[in-house]
Each structure stands twice: as structure tokens, then as C-alpha cells.
Amino acid sequence: METERFSHHISRRFNEELEHVRSEVLRMGGLVEQHLDVAIQAIIAGDSEMALQIASEDYKINRMEVAIDEECTKIIATRGPTAADLRLVIAVIKTITDLERIGDEARKIATLAARLAAVAQDRGEHRELELLTGHVQEMVHDALDAFSRLDARDALAVVEQDKLVDEQYDMISRQCITRMMEDPHTIRRFLDVTWVARALERIGDHATNISEYVVYLVHGKDIRHVGIDAARQEIGLG
């Protein structure tokens, strides 16, 4: 969409460095999406082996965060980026932090999946999570897509979805409390379901953060603490 604003430097090497950190963010995002997808499938299928595999591979995401962060630090130290280029580097640093935290939440979900698989009697008993997982996966994917295309309009659409995710999390929490009150023997199991839902809600928050960085990157506007309507007005999309 507006990629050209980051691609007209006299130094071809500087152009390549900026484009490389952008592509590395998307590569890291792809790995995070993969871990999240597998962790969610482990919950739905009750597959403890799948869950433990993802939980053991979180270090790959951590390594990518460190490598990209070091590359951004080098660009700041050697290139002294300004204006849009500086916003790009800042947005990348913030985005990889949120991606790493999404990875942490996926690992948490995977760990809980392994525990739930050991006690679940019915493979479909966690269907209450499926709607929430679908929305959260969509938010993460759309946030990364908006980052890839530098699309502030689509980024704001992701921000809007966060309210729905919060509502679904609240609904699942209430359902779990009701089931635990009805049958105290299920307390451990439904506490774990609640923690899965909480992890998914947090992932939605991180996807929202990434989308807000896209708006900052494209328009130079910080919309983190304003309502969605005010954010649209701020960047001329109202």
C-alpha cells in the first residue's frame, strides 16, 4: 500500500536492511501462527503429543525475537533512521515483542491441552472454545497481513474485533464457573479451560497491539488509548 515510502534511499544497502527486518517479522509471525494453530488443534483433538511438541519448540520464536531486535539496534546505531524509517524500526521492535508473547501464550495453551487430554472424556467437550479460537486466529492473521501491506484500515478492523473476543472470554468464564458449581469434581478441568480462554483473550490483545503499531507506522499516530471512532477520525477514516 505505502511501501514505497520506505524504499527510496541513496544507499541500496539501507533499503535492503529495512526490507529484511520487515520480512523477518513476517517470518516470525508465520511461525507464531503455526504454533498457535497446532496448540489449538491439540485442545480440540485432545492430542497430548501434539501439545507437548509445540510447548518444547517455543525457543525458536525466542531466538527470532532476539535476532530481529539485534538487527534493529544495529540499524539505529549505524544508519540513524528518521521520520518514517524510524517509525518502521520502532514498530518492528514493538511487534516482535507482542509476537513473542503470543508464542508464550500458545505454549501455555499447549501445556494446558496436554493436561486436558489426560482427563477429557469427550473429545468435543471443549467446543465452547472453538468460536473464540477462530476469532483470535483471524485477528492474528489479519494483524500480520495489515503489517505486510501497511494497511491502516484493515489494522483498525482488527482493533474493532477485540471487543468481541473479550465478550466471548467473559461468556466462557461464566459457563465454566457454572459447571464447577454444578459438579465440584470438574473444578480442575474447567479451571484449565478458563486458563485456555484467558490465554486466547491475551493473544487477541497482542494482535490488537500489533494493529495499533501498523497505524502508527503508516500515519505516525498513536491510537493506543483512544476509542475506535476517535482513532478513525484521527487518521482520516471516520
CA distance 85 to 15: 10
Q: Please state whether 83 falls in left (phi above 0), alpha (psi between -120 and 50) or beta.
A: left
Domains of the chain: 3-234 (1.20.58.220)
Task: Please report the pLDDT score of residue 196 as a whole number.
Answer: 95
- As a whole number of angstroms, the distance between CA 101 and CA 62 comes to 9
Q: In this predicted model, what pLDDT tens digit does every residue of 68-77 receive, in sequence order?
A: 999 999 999 9
Task: Tell me the three cell numbers of residue 108.
Answer: 501455555
pLDDT tens by residue, 45-95: 888 888 888 888 899 999 999 999 999 999 999 999 988 899 999 999 999
C-alpha distances in Å from residue 26, one per residue of 17, 29, 63, 163, 181: 15, 5, 15, 25, 44
**pLDDT tens digits, one per residue of 171-223:** 999 999 999 999 999 899 899 999 999 999 999 999 999 999 999 999 999 99
31 contacts 100 by C-beta, under 8 angstroms = no
Give the pLDDT band of residue 229 (cuts 50, 70, 90): confident
